[in-house]
Structure 1
Amino acid sequence: MIHILYEQIRLTEVTNARASVGRVQLDPNKAPTDAAQLEKFQAAQGQLSNALSRLLVVVERYPELKANQNFLSLQAQLEGTENRISVERGNFNKTVQDYNIAVRSFPTNFVAGMLGFAPRPFFTAQPGAEKPPPVQFNFGTPAPAPAATAAP
């Protein structure tokens, strides 16, 4: 009974984190220029990643989840979510790159300078966030420790 409550708490965390990502609205007209808006979005992304990691720990502890159709559906949704996040990060950074090129290129750099447009930072996720956490279904054996990332 306790593990059911624990699972419910983890699923609730994932649901809430996913909802918080959806609540952060990035205005395409201001996203590259609004650092506070981008910071909120990055924080929501981090909460979602943390909740997913904790959920995967629960899954590894309970082998009966492996055969559950709902879990298989959740697994497919998680994979799709990770793919969409990756694609949108790339799209955002491409848009920022185009914007920065326009701000720095002749003759638009003159107009951009007069109107206060400056180059903007790219979306930077936490190290390792571009890769989804490994999902392993070797139930009964402990999960391997995450590999340490080297600083650039």
Structure 2
Amino acid sequence: MKKTWIIVLVIVALVIAIPAISITGSYNKLVGMDESVNANWQQVENLMQRRYDLIPNLVEVTKGYASHEEQVFTEIANARARIGQGSNREDMIDANQELTGALSRLLVLTENYPQLQASEQFVRLQDELAGTENRLAVARQDYNNSVRDYNDTIRRFPTSLLANNFGFDSQPYFEMSSEAGEAPQVNFN
């Protein structure tokens, strides 16, 4: 009789322990993935800040050569202001896409000023910005990869049940704006 009770208790313990261990493992995996998304986002923000800090110097050097191109400079200033006001990831992503478009128009503008391209300060700033843009592209890709893995995991059954109950929400991708796919136009009229 005693053996029967021990077997029943062991079976009950296993019935309780196995799902508890599985739920704990799934929860810890979601926490780790969420932290990975946040860490990758922090790297994107770090590089966006570096770009944000480089832009005023690049704009000031360019202004001396292309003072009549006020629209491009205004677009850059407005985009930088929106970045400073971004309160969430979606706003930051939108503002940085706007800034990317304005910067591409600025760099196209410089092609029409050979003396600007010969300026050592401009070339140095342009190289720093290009390097930052390359690192930012890699950081965006890393962020989007971690978002894809995270969003995929929280949508799969049975993890979706756990994710919904513990408030694990999907994260936004850093997507290319519709303007970024178009070649920038510079008009000297």
- TM (norm. structure 1) is 0.58
8 Å Cα contact 2:154/2:163 also seen in 1: yes
Match of 1:82 in 2: 133
Alignment map for 1:39-118 (pairs within 5 Å): 39-118=90-169
Unaligned residue ranges in structure 2 (runs of 5+): 1-62
* C-alpha spacing 1:95/1:2, structure 2 compared with 1 (3 Å): closer
* C-alpha spacing 1:128/1:12, structure 2 compared with 1 (3 Å): closer
> Letter of the aligned partner of 2:67 in structure 1?
L
Give % identity: 41
Choose 1 or 2 for highest CA Rg. Answer: 2
Match of 1:6 in 2: 68
Provide the C-alpha distance between the structure 2 equivalents of 1:95 and 1:127, rounded to a whole number of angstroms: 23
Alignment map for 1:132-143 (pairs within 5 Å): none
Deviates more, 1:119-128 or 1:102-111: 119-128
Output the aligned Cα RMSD: 3.6
Q: CA deviation at 1:82?
A: 1.5
Unaligned residue ranges in structure 1 (runs of 5+): 26-36, 135-142, 144-152
8 Å Cα contact 2:101/2:180 also seen in 1: no
Higher RCO (CA < 8 A, seq sep 6+): 2
Q: CA deviation at 1:59?
A: 1.0
- TM (norm. structure 2) is 0.49
Q: CA deviation at 1:94?
A: 1.5
> Letter of the aligned partner of 1:42 in structure 2?
I
8 Å Cα contact 1:42/1:125 also seen in 2: no
Q: CA deviation at 1:73?
A: 0.8
> Letter of the aligned partner of 1:57 in structure 2?
V
> Letter of the aligned partner of 1:111 in structure 2?
L
Provide the C-alpha distance between the structure 1 equivalents of 2:64 and 2:149, rounded to a whole number of angstroms: 52
What CA deviation, in whole Å up to 9, does each residue of 1:26-76 have, x standing for no partner? xxxxxxxxxxx2331222112212221231233122110121101111221
